[in-house]
Structure 1
Amino acid sequence: MTAFATRLTDTEIEDLARRRARARIGWLTHAFVFLAVHLLLAAIALASGHAPRLFGVGTLAWGFGLAMHGVSVLVHGSGTALVDRLVARERARLLAHRDPW
């Protein structure tokens, strides 16, 4: 990462930090929706007198997609306080690895 970060300008570092922070927010949103939908499906199943089938093909497929989304965020890894904190953290990491010369 050091060799890559040494060639980045301040503007490029800012853009990269924002992109990475937004990717993390996207994954958190994805995970929240996954959880909310499956809790709703379980509640509907229980209310109708059926046992919830939480580990069906759809759940496994969506779970796999969520996992791949998480991996992409970790590997490649606006306007809200959380995004601003994540941007600041990414900016600090990128600046720490930049060669001052």
Structure 2
Amino acid sequence: MNTAFSHPARPDLDKLARRRAGAKMGWYMHAFVYVMVNIVLVVLSAANGRTWAMYPLVGWGLGLVIHGAVIWFLAPGGGFYERLVAHERRALGAGDRG
């Protein structure tokens, strides 16, 4: 039996790990495309003596930052998300006793 890829007692853990790894891989691909495309745009802009390349850099960069924040802080299984879930569990548990 191959246990390197999934733990028999926690198949949901393996599923969550794969989903989070896929989401992070998506962000890395997004960042790679951002860098490559914006290098070309900066070169084209500089070749024409213009500064218009800063607009896609800033706009798309903001999107990349938001994407990263969602992946690393707000996604299920992330630190911030898990703290919120734990807080809600405690709050619901306290309400059951009273």
Task: List gaps (5 residues or longer) in structure 2.
Answer: 1-8, 77-98
2:64 to 63, 66, 70: 66
Identity %: 33
State the Cα RMSD in Å. 1.7
Equivalenced residues, count: 67
After TM superposition, the score normalised by the length of structure 1 is 0.58
Q: Judge conservation of contact 2:45–2:51 (CA < 8 Å) in 1.
A: yes
Structure 1 stretches lacking a partner, 5+ long:
1-8, 78-101
Higher RCO, 1 or 2 (CA under 8 Å, sep at least 6)? 1
Largest Rg, 1 or 2: 2
Residue 30 of structure 1: how far off its partner (Å): 0.5
Deviations 1:36-75 (A, max 9, x none): 111011122233x32343321x332211110010001102
